[in-house]
Amino acid sequence: MAAAVEVLAEVGFDALSVAEVARRAGSTPPAIYRRFPGKTELVTAALREELSLIGFDVPDLGSLRAELLMWTRSVAQALTPERLRIIAALFLASRQDPIPTESLGAHLQSVAVPAWRMVLDRARDRGEIGSLPAAYELIGQVAPAVIVNAALMLRPQDEATLVSLVDAILMPALRASPEPISTASRWNDHD
Amino acid sequence: MAAAVEVLAEVGFDALSVAEVARRAGSTPPAIYRRFPGKTELVTAALREELSLIGFDVPDLGSLRAELLMWTRSVAQALTPERLRIIAALFLASRQDPIPTESLGAHLQSVAVPAWRMVLDRARDRGEIGSLPAAYELIGQVAPAVIVNAALMLRPQDEATLVSLVDAILMPALRASPEPISTASRWNDHD
């Protein structure tokens, strides 16, 4: 699995050869093909294992701001240059085979969204935010997206930017009026 | 220039050959080398021309929300699959040659930031926001970053997401208390 991730980051999905992965893993292509029907399944499984190494979970730190800072820093640390090369390479290969990218995306969501949701649920329980904003998943994409984007453009990510993400964007968005107008009027209908 | 962008999106920077660009443009490699010392300069010039085709400018629509919606839609339309493939390919090639990516990043900033700034200046003049937020450039990266990120993960971008970006993230961030505490106390010192 580690060898597959390594080769993927170096040469991309198109140029990845099962023989090269086998060579680095001290194995043989037939041994790999016994476990995985093909390259797509090998890469998908390798990414799944790689993702399981990323810890998105944030412990209770007593305040929403502290947890958002920790979450944002974890995301920045998780998005290593090697992982960004894998994302870019899979995207380029997705015209021929979208499965590894779709699998990566679904898996990232399934790991990151519950961790994000837990931070917000705790903030609501503490009374720091009114209720879970309708757009909470979209708000959760902001920090990863800005960090990925800066890295793609080779812009260095500094601590001040991560703090600004939390104070100038995430906190205001999470504290904004939680109920859209349409929901508010639906509540009125019940009266 | 168009041929260079086309080849770049198809095969990436590493595999781009000046001969192939010449063939598609109905030209010859020597003719290209007369204008550009090498591949890096050719690609950089081609990206500059491609970027000049993108209109980031938003006319005065009378309200910040309307202009943010138009700006967000323009960004989503400008980020075509071909352009995203170019961004991904240049990023992958940046270990060998960072110049095309740096040039693309600097040029994008130089085009997008003034257009974004103009939208915010108008909102301030209308009294819709107090003053230009200190993090206004970072807030300006949110919509492009979320759109790029969704596209990299092959998640379809729908109109509802763009509206949520504006209403649930950009508007609250731009309307949040514009002065950080340290600045506010500096103002008090003048009294």
Of A104, A139, A180, the CB nearest to B169: A139
How far is residue A170 from each of residues A72, A82, A133, B187, measured CA to CA in Å?
10, 27, 12, 26
Q: Mean per-residue pLDDT for A60-76?
A: 95
pLDDT at A51: 76
Instruction: Show pLDDT as tens, one digit a residue, over chain B (191 residues).
Output: 889 888 888 888 878 889 999 999 999 999 999 998 888 888 888 888 887 777 788 999 999 999 999 999 999 988 888 888 888 888 988 888 888 888 888 888 888 899 999 999 999 999 999 889 999 999 999 999 999 999 998 888 899 999 999 999 999 999 986 544 444 334 444 43
Higher-confidence residue of A184 and B11: namely B11
Residue B120 lies in a domain: yes
Verify that B20 and B62 share a domain, yes or no. no
User: Hey, of B101, B109, B146, B158, which one would you mutate to test binding to chain A, going by the most A CBs within 10 A of its CB?
Assistant: B146
pLDDT digits 0-9 by tens, A135-145: 999 999 999 99
Chain B residues inside the 8 Å CB shell of A120: none
- What is the least distance, in Å, from the CA of B137 to any CA of chain A? 11
Determine the 3-state secondary structure of A133 from DSSP: coil
CATH number, domain with residue A78:
1.10.357.10
Instruction: Please state, in angstroms and rounded to a whole number, the distance separating the CA atoms of residues B46 and B86.
Output: 11
Burial of B62 (0-12, 13-18, 19+ CB in 10 A): exposed
Is B188 among the domain residues? Answer: no
pLDDT of B177 = 62
Non-local CB neighbours of B130 within 8 Å, separated by 6+ positions: B124, B175, B177, B178, B179
- Residues 6 or more apart from B129 whose CB is under 8 A from it? B64, B120, B123, B174, B175, B178
Instruction: Please give the residue range of the domain that contains residue A23.
Output: 1-53
Task: Looking at the structure, tell me whether residues B17 and B32 fall in a common domain.
Answer: yes
Average pLDDT over chain A, rounded to an integer = 86
Same domain, B167 and B136: yes
Last residue of a domain, one of B14, B35, B52: B52
Question: Is A184 a domain residue?
Answer: no
Give yes or no: residues B66 and B42 share one domain: no
Report whether pLDDT(A23) > 90: yes
Q: For chain A, what percent of residues have pLDDT higher than 90?
A: 46
A1 confidence band (pLDDT: 50, 70, 90): confident
Mean predicted confidence (pLDDT) in A41-63: 85
What integer pLDDT is reported at residue B180 of this predicted model? Answer: 43
Q: Which two tokens stand for residue B85?
A: 């493939």
pLDDT of residue B173: 96
Search chain A and give the residue with CA nearest B171.
A173
Query: What domain count does chain B have?
Result: 2
Please list every residue in chain B whose beta carbon sits closer than 8 Å to the beta carbon of residue A146: 138, 141-142, 145
Residues B43 and B126 in one domain: no
Domain membership flag for residue B186: no
Is-contact A101 B81, C-beta < 8 A?
no
Indicate if A132 and A158 belong to the same structural domain: yes
Q: Give yes or no: residues B45 and B96 share one domain.
A: no
At residue A155, the pLDDT reads 86
Other C-beta atoms lying within 10 Å of the C-beta of residue B54: 18
pLDDT of residue A177: 62
**Total residues belonging to chain B:** 191
The residue among A99, A73, A101 whose CA lies nearest residue A87 is: A101
Flag if B152 and A88 touch (Cβ within 8 Å): yes
Contact B94 A154 (CB under 8 A): yes
Which CATH number covers residue B38?
1.10.10.60
Between A181 and A45, residue with greater pLDDT = A45
| A191 in any annotated domain | no
CB A76 within 8 A of CB A157: yes
Angle, nearest 10°, between helix axes A81-93 and B136-152? 50
Tell me the ipTM for this assembly: 0.84
Contact state of B84 with A91 under an 8 Å Cβ cutoff = yes
Q: What whole-number distance in Å separates Cα of residue A101 and Cα of residue B152?
A: 8
Asked whether residue B39 falls in the same domain as residue B60, the answer is no
Q: Is A17 found in the same domain as A74?
A: no
Given B31, B52, B73, the domain boundary residue is B52
Kindly list the residues of chain B whose beta carbon comes within 8 Å of any beta carbon in chain A: 12, 84-85, 87-89, 91-92, 94, 98, 101-102, 104-105, 108, 133-135, 138-139, 141-142, 144-146, 148-150, 152-155, 161, 164-165, 167-169, 171-173, 175-176, 180
Same domain assignment for residues B58 and B130:
yes
**One domain, residues A79 and A146:** yes
pLDDT mean over A67-73? 95
Q: Are residues A79 and A151 in the same domain?
A: yes
For residue A179, pLDDT beyond 80: no
